[in-house]
Amino acid sequence: MAVHNHPQRLHGFHFSFQRKAATAPQTVDTAASTATVAHALAGLRLLTGFVFLWAFLDKTFGFGYATPSGKGWIDGGSPTKGFLSSVAVGPMESTFHDWAGAGWADWLFMLGLLGIGVALVSGVALRLAAVAGTLMMAFMWIAEWPPAKHLSDGSLSMSTNPFADYHVIYAVVLIALAAAGAGATWGLGKVWARLPFVSRNRWLI
């Protein structure tokens, strides 16, 4: 009786060891995959944040790229006048023309660029950044109005896609980064989430 039971106990122990050995690499692979995804999202967050920050800096100081030197915000230039006054299509064409160069529009636009850029680069308040950024991209999408084949003067709009242009992509990226909690890697997301007022107001994460 004892002779027959002994091999069974050894066999059972051996089988358990084999199962653990087989599942260990899967656990390691899962952890590595999770870390890779977190780093990829963090890199996307930083790059997207720099897009917004650069737009703010260039429009403020006029580095000579999208904003000519001497035409920056600090030089008296308007960050919204050139873009909004050139809107030539869409249901809000006349409204955007009225807004072009208005002080409140300049401040709102520039604070939006700065706030979204800082939030993304630092990894904090990503939900607020996603809401503000999506709203900004929606207005800019309406201003360019990709569904139109022709502008109001009859010329070709040169739209490359009637729906999925870069404004839509940026909005989706912002939402995805907030939903994934991408501020925890290479950012201050974890520190921010532990702050008392943020803990009490989860929408600030």
Q: What is the pLDDT of residues 36-82, one digit of tens each?
A: 999 999 999 999 999 999 999 999 999 999 999 999 999 999 999 99
pLDDT for res 29: 83
Residue range 95-147, pLDDT digits in tens: 999 999 999 999 999 999 999 999 999 999 999 999 999 999 999 999 999 99
pLDDT for res 31: 86
Would you say residue 22 has pLDDT above 60?
no
Confidence (pTM) = 0.85
Average pLDDT, the chain: 90
CA distance 116 to 102: 21
Please compute the mean of the pLDDT values over residues 9-17 and round it to a whole number.
45
Output the CA torsion sign for 57, 59, 62, 63.
positive
The answer to whether the CB of 99 falls within 8 A of the CB of 105 is yes
CA distance 135 to 116: 11
pLDDT for res 121: 98
The answer to whether the CB of 151 falls within 8 A of the CB of 87 is no
